Amino acid sequence: MPETVTPEIVLAQLEEMLVEVIGDDLLLDGPLTMETSFDQDLQLESIEFVALSEKLLETYGEQVDFVGWLAEMQLDDIIALTVGQLVGFVAANAAASGA
Amino acid sequence: MSRFLFVVPPFTGHVNPTIGVALELERRGHDVAWAGVPGATEALLPPGARFLSAVPDEVAAYVAEAGERRDDARGAAGFKFLQEEVLLPLAEHMVDGVDAALDAFGADVLVVDQQALGGAVVARRRAIPWATSATTSAELVDPLAALPKVAEAVHQMRVDLQVRHGIAPDVAGAGDLRLSPHLVLAYTVEELTGSLAGTPAGEVPVRFVGPCAVGRPEPGGFPWDRLSDDAAVPNVLVSLGTLNAEVGERFWQAASEAFRGQPWTGVFVAPDHLVPDPPPNVIVRSRVPQLELLPRLRAVVSHAGHNTVCETLAAGLPLVVAPIRDDQPVVADQVVRAGAAVRVKFARVRADALRAAVHQALTDPALVAAAERIQASFAAAGGPVAAADALVALA
């Protein structure tokens, strides 16, 4: 568990996780940014969402429940979901647990 | 004798299996007809089939145009487009037409595809026995189980559709238009879908009948002499299906590289311009006689469209699956779980990963054994005869 969970740190860690899930081709289109969208830009497939969720749990613990967070979303929220939103979710929840 | 009306969308994979079932019903002396989109659905039916138009020509034109527009939409955006811009308007506009078709034809039983829900609305409204025609195994399982809010919104959309067409809200809210409480014909086997217990389909009578598609006219002119006759140089088909070839630019590049220099002969179902420089061991054709080819193949690389997957498994061949959209990721998961396929990514596929997957499909005996197991359960499922038995029992 990192000492401080700043958005910059989370973004870097998320990039590592996504490279593991998707492969290093992820970075061919440039670095991951807060504006990168999961649906349109990354074209993340459902099994990749599951794999990412497992990596988030391993890294930040069970308070970062990506699957539970997605389950609360409407279709338009999922289409519009960006890396920045996930970074915010991770930072808020990992921090809330006293990490 | 009874009369059966098939209500179908204008998509090959959804019409094909109904033809096998309908022919079996006709053989037994029953009358069959199809209701659907003029032009597009008609073109998919056998010569002489009775077709009743269920939508005006302008709706047919809209559906064709929407089909072209959705080429770029994949993932969640693709799902939204398919549901809201294609299937819902189609259902909405088919209700009156199916109603009229029913009056004209006088059906005892409606057989309603999961993507032509207008037929289910009519059946419920007129209290006629109806069967669901589940042409893809993806809608049998619960693909939106992990997204309850999305599932709820989609369900509500279908409840509203029924209410707009005169079904009482409490009736409309019960059950699921995709799953008839009388009968669900599943053109697959439980070995592929897994147990349905605990899912909505577990609540209704599902009859697993296996594939029902019949032989179809296939294009001629295939260069058969370019296929390999040498067991050490297996033939491998690579197909992204009838709708997806054009979105596969990057995929075809990777596939060319993957096959270059390998001891395989590739048959790529692609337009020439997407494979500008094919390796010498690759045949590129925009259309192929797929059924005629299957006995000469050892593996198939596919987008995991339900029809191609079923035809491949019915031939006892393993697959490499690269699902693109719609039901394909779910179908791909099912075949991988059943042990008969290797999965690669479509969007970011790389030549080395594809080459390794094809190599595995050609050499791993466990994949072939699983494909042969499913081949056997397909054969045991009964096909059109079992489907016709179940439908006749409803009449």
Is the pTM here over 0.95, yes or no? no
- Find where tokens 């031939």 sit: B315
Q: What is the pLDDT of residues B134-150, one digit of tens each?
A: 998 888 888 888 899 99
Determine contact: A51 vs chain B, CB below 8 A: no
Q: How many Cα atoms occupy the beta-carbon half-sphere of B193 within 13 Å?
A: 29
**Domain limits, chain A:** 7-96
Chain B positions touching A79 (Cβ under 8 A) are 75-77, 80
Query: Beta-carbon neighbour count of residue A91 at 10 Å?
Result: 21
Domains recognised in chain B with CATH numbers: 3-208 (3.40.50.2000), 224-379 (3.40.50.2000)
- Put simply, the chain B residues between 272 and 331 with a CB less than 8 A from any chain A CB are 323, 329
Q: Tell me, what DSSP letter sits at residue A18?
A: H
Radius of gyration for chain A, computed over Cα atoms and rounded to the nearest angstrom: 13
CB B27 within 8 A of CB B5: no
Cα separation of B128 and A25, whole Å?
54
Cα separation of B226 and B267, whole Å?
10
Cα separation of A99 and B373, whole Å?
51
pLDDT tens string, chain B, 395 residues long: the values are: 999 999 999 988 899 999 999 999 999 999 999 999 999 899 999 999 999 999 999 999 998 888 777 766 778 898 899 899 999 999 999 999 999 999 999 999 999 999 999 999 999 999 999 999 999 888 888 888 889 999 999 999 999 999 999 999 999 999 899 999 999 999 999 999 999 998 889 999 999 999 998 877 788 999 999 999 999 999 999 999 866 666 788 899 999 999 999 999 999 999 999 999 999 999 999 999 999 999 999 999 999 988 899 999 999 999 999 998 888 888 999 999 999 999 998 877 889 999 999 999 999 999 999 999 999 999 999 999 999 999 999 99
Strands of the sheet with B130-134, listed across from one edge: B51-53, B31-36, B3-7, B109-113, B130-134, B183-186, B206-208
Chain A positions touching B149 (Cβ under 8 A) are 71-74
Tell me which architecture the domain covering A7-96 has in CATH: Orthogonal Bundle (1.10)
Looking only at the bridges linking them, the beta strands covering B341-343 and B282-285 are unpaired
CB B214 within 8 A of CB B23: yes
Q: How far is B148 from chain A (nearest CA, A)?
A: 6
- Put simply, the chain A residues between 56 and 75 with a CB less than 8 A from any chain B CB are 67, 70-75
Determine contact: B74 vs chain A, CB below 8 A: yes
Residue in A22, A44, A67 closest to B146 by CB: A67
Q: What is the pLDDT of residues A19-56, one digit of tens each?
A: 888 877 777 777 899 999 998 888 887 778 889 999 99
Q: Specify the 3-state DSSP secondary structure of A17.
A: helix
Q: How far is A3 from chain B (nearest CA, A)?
A: 32
Q: Specify the 3-state DSSP secondary structure of A50.
A: helix
CB B23 within 8 A of CB B384: yes
